[in-house]
């Protein structure tokens, strides 16, 4: 029997998974990114229906329940992704500044040579 | 005579920019570069009318980004000395000759203005505390003890201006410049200057809260990123 919770999450997972595939087809993401995101969503699906498979890992790590391991890993992963996002935004900001600067420097209001 | 360029970052300074430029012209400076950071007011027009070279950022990128834009422009047009100067009327154009003196004399490649050396500035109390904390922060962060670390009045030799690469687009550039001076072993010196605080400049200026953001920003860029 699958619960309503599992139903909803499953629909969500299928939806985001198709998004990943489409974005790969549109060449908006690389094959590496496709593999990464597919692995992430598929493992989330597996955990959704078989949370007990994480129990052995939990025992090794001394964490109560298997599903807690998944939650902890999820949080760590989220932190990492947010970090990556920050770095990326920083880089984009710097690139943006370069473009704005180039335009400004090449188009002064008053061309000095004419003076 | 050395070719001196004055670089002025400006954002929403329509009330002060004209008199600042006029003051500079009166002192004999001709190469005045105003970087208008997409001000929604008439800063650009006022600066143009006053006879400055105006570079326009098509979107707001911050004071640090603007300084670098103006500095790049000056370097491309043969500047030998570059002076960073505020648009809000807090700096005194008469003191430019003092701040470029060590560079002309070949004693330093970066001359940093200090409002806590000799000359007396009317610094408001909370501002003073923030500035002193900034000095301590700089000592820990960059290992340099200066009497005033967050002063926008400075002069750079052509060589120093080329070597210092401002990547902090917003207000963290002041600390970044000191950090690079230290790292790249650029010869520096401090020069007493007066910073004038008026109700106009205080209202427009930086809040104490903002300095915490700036510190976090610097630590992120240097150690975490
Ligand atoms: N280009 C640009 N210039 C800016 C920006 N913000 C401030 N400025 C300019 O930078 C100069 C100094 O800015 P202030 O905000 O007064 O900073 P400050 O003088 O270091 O701090 P206070 O001591 O509080 O006045 C002025 O000429 C401003 O017009 C910005 O976003 N872009
Ligand atoms: Mg100011």
CB contact (8 A) between residue A97 and residue B169: yes
Q: What is the pLDDT of residue A14?
A: 94
Closest CA to B6 of B87, B64, B63, B60: B87
A109 CA: distance to closest CA in chain B (Å): 5
Chain centroid offset of residue B78 CA: 20
CB B160 within 8 A of CB B192: no
Cα–Cα distances in angstroms (integers) from residue B18 to residues A55, B8, B29, B69, B149, in the given order: 72, 12, 14, 21, 28
Q: What is the pLDDT of residue A113?
A: 45
B93 CB-near residues (< 8 Å, 6+ apart): B20, B23, B24, B26, B27, B29, B85
Count CB atoms within 10 A of the CB of residue A108: 17
Count how many Cα atoms sit within 13 Å of the Cα of residue B35 in the half-sphere of its side chain.
33
| Residues B56, B60, B65: CA angle, nearest 5 degrees | 80
Q: Is residue A4 within 8 angstroms of chain B, CB to CB?
A: no
Q: Name residues of chain A where pLDDT drops below 70.
A: 110-115
Average pLDDT per 10 consecutive residues for chain B, totaling 225 residues = 96 97 98 98 97 97 98 98 98 98 98 93 94 96 96 98 97 96 97 95 91 94 87
Name residue, tokens 């992704």: A81
Q: What is the pLDDT of residue A53?
A: 85
CB B100 within 8 A of CB B174: no
Residues of B in contact with A112 (CB under 8 A): 53, 77
- Taking the centre of ligand 2 as the mean of its atom positions, its distance from the CA of residue B206, in whole angstroms, is 7
Q: Is B201 in the pocket of ligand 1 (CB under 6 A)?
A: yes
A33 CA: distance to closest CA in chain B (Å): 22
Q: Is residue A91 within 8 angstroms of chain B, CB to CB?
A: no
- Among protein residues, the one with the nearest Cα to ligand 1's atom 29 is B10
CB B142 within 8 A of CB B182: yes
B124 CA: distance to closest CA in chain A (Å): 33
Closest CA to B166 of B76, B108, B77, B84: B84
Taking the C-alpha atoms of residue B103 and residue B183, their distance in angstroms, rounded to an integer, is 20
Q: Is the pTM of this model over 0.80?
A: yes
CB B106 within 8 A of CB B179: no
CB contact (8 A) between residue A97 and residue B56: no
- ipTM for this prediction: 0.94
Q: What is the pLDDT of residue A114?
A: 45
> Computed from CA positions of residues B147, B151, B155, B160, in that sequence, does the dihedral angle turn out positive or negative?
positive
User: For chain B, which domains are there?
Assistant: 4-224 (3.90.550.10)
pLDDT in tens, B152-211: 999 999 999 999 999 999 999 999 999 999 999 999 999 999 999 999 999 998 999 999
CB B40 within 8 A of CB B127: no
What integer best gives the mean pLDDT of chain A?
Answer: 88
């Amino acid at each position: 029997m699958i619960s309503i919770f599992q139903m909803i999450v499953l629909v969500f997972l299928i939806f985001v998974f198709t998004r990943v595939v489409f974005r790969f087809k549109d060449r908006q993401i690389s094959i590496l990114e496709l593999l990464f995101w597919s692995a992430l969503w598929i493992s989330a699906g597996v955990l959704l229906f078989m949370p007990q498979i994480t129990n052995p890992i939990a025992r090794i790590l001394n964490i109560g329940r298997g599903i807690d391991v998944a939650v902890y890993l999820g949080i760590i992963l989220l932190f990492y992704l947010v970090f990556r996002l920050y770095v990326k935004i920083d880089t984009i900001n710097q690139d943006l500044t370069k473009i704005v600067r180039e335009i400004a420097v090449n188009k002064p209001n008053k061309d000095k040579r004419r003076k | 005579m050395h070719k001196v360029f004055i670089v002025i970052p400006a954002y929403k300074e329509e009330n002060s920019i004209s008199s600042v430029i006029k003051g500079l012209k009166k002192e004999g400076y001709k190469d005045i570069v105003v970087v208008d950071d997409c001000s929604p007011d008439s800063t650009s027009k006022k600066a143009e009318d006053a006879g400055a070279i105006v570079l326009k950022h098509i979107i707001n990128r911050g004071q640090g980004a603007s300084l670098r834009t103006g500095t790049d422009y000056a370097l491309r047009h043969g500047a030998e000395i570059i002076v960073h100067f505020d648009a809000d009327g807090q700096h005194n154009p008469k003191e430019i000759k003092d701040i470029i003196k060590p560079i002309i004399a070949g004693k330093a490649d970066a001359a940093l203005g200090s409002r806590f050396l000799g000359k007396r500035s009317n610094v408001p109390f909370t501002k003073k505390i923030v500035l002193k904390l900034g000095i301590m922060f700089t000592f820990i962060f960059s290992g340099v003890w200066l009497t005033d670390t967050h002063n926008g009045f400075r002069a750079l030799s052509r060589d120093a201006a080329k070597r210092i690469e401002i990547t902090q687009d917003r207000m963290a550039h002041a600390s970044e410049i000191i950090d690079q001076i230290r790292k790249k072993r650029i010869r520096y010196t401090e020069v007493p200057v007066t910073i004038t605080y008026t109700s106009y400049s205080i209202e427009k200026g930086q809040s104490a809260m903002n300095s915490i953001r700036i510190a976090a920003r610097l630590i992120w860029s240097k150690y975490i990123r």
